[in-house]
Amino acid sequence: MFSDSLISELDRGLRAIAGVTQASRPTPTPVTATNSDAPIADDALTSEERRHVAGLMRVNHVGEVCAQALYQAQKLATKRPELRRAFEHAGKEEEDHLAWTAHRLSELGSRPSLLNPLWYAGAFAIGFVAGKCGDKVSLGFMSETERQVEHHLDSHLDELPPHDLRSRAIVDQMRVDEIEHGQAARDAGGVELPVPVQRVMRAAAKVMTTTAYYI
């Protein structure tokens, strides 16, 4: 029943907001550094670098809270079992990202965003509306979201200290997964969203990332 599914997804969302999710894959770790002399330990980070990295990882954690909400809402909105399975698969991998970023924040002595309940609620509403606009639009929304997240993670790889190999390994694997999710959405029939919609999505993401960096 729809009500049972809704309760189940909201329970999952509450666990995401509370930071009690469990990853199904181990946290990515650097295998081979490009510079064998590059330090890996966090004590190699200066206090300013640590603060900046924590801000970036908090933003990424918020992004994963939003991803949970989006995919849960889109899964509830579609009537096609194969799409529900697709959203469920993507959501599971995003749940890994959520756990990884939460763990990294803890290592850095920092915390997730205090506004996570707000981010989750807003993303859930947007995802449900997108889902009710039709499967092709919903998949297109997924594709565009992942495309923007990919570019966002690219910018974080540019900003992260070169010697922070722990954070870089996490962000790099997240980027690989997001590319796969976006391609899967396009392969499933997702349509390209109108340019004005893409711009609104970027503007909303800018507000979220700027705020979450600090709060």
* pLDDT digit string, tens, across residues 146-162: 999 999 999 999 999 99
- Of 32, 182, 14, the closest CA to residue 98 belongs to 14
The predicted structure's pLDDT at residue 5: 59
Residue 33: the pLDDT is: 46
Q: Does 150 appear as a known binding residue?
A: no
Under the banding of pLDDT at 50, 70 and 90, the label for residue 8 is low
- pLDDT above 60 for 12: yes
45-213 placed in CATH 3.90.180.10 = no
Count of C-beta atoms within a 10 Å radius of residue 45: 20
Signed CA dihedral, 91, 97, 99, 101: sign only: negative
Residue ranges covered by each domain of the chain = 45-213
Whether residue 52 is annotated as binding a ligand: the answer is: no
**Reduced DSSP (H G I as helix, E B as strand, rest coil) percent helix, strand, coil of the chain, to 5:** 75, 0, 25
pLDDT at 36: 46
State the pTM of this model. Answer: 0.85
Report pLDDT for 41. 62
Residue 64 marked in a binding site: yes
Residue 39 pLDDT > 50:
no
pLDDT in tens, 166-215: 999 999 999 999 999 889 889 888 898 999 999 998 998 899 899 999 99
